[in-house]
Amino acid sequence: IDFFLCAILFLIVFITMFYFDDDDLLKKLLFFYLGGIAVLTLFFSLGLPTALETTLPYSGDWLTLAFILAYAVYTWVLIRSLQPLRKKYRTALILAVVAPFTIGPIFKYFLLVPMPMEGMVVAVLDAIWYWDF
The residue among 109, 124, 14 whose CA lies nearest residue 61 is 124
What pTM does this model have? 0.85
One digit per residue, the tens of pLDDT, for the chain of length 133 reads 888 999 999 999 999 888 888 889 999 999 999 999 999 999 999 988 888 888 888 888 899 999 999 999 999 999 999 888 999 999 999 999 999 989 988 888 888 888 878 888 888 888 888 886 5
**Integer CA distances (angstroms), 32 to 17, 36, 71, 94, 133, in order:** 11, 6, 7, 21, 38
Q: Please state, in angstroms and rounded to a whole number, the distance separating the CA atoms of residues 88 and 53.
A: 38
The residue among 82, 75, 92 whose CA lies nearest residue 32 is 75
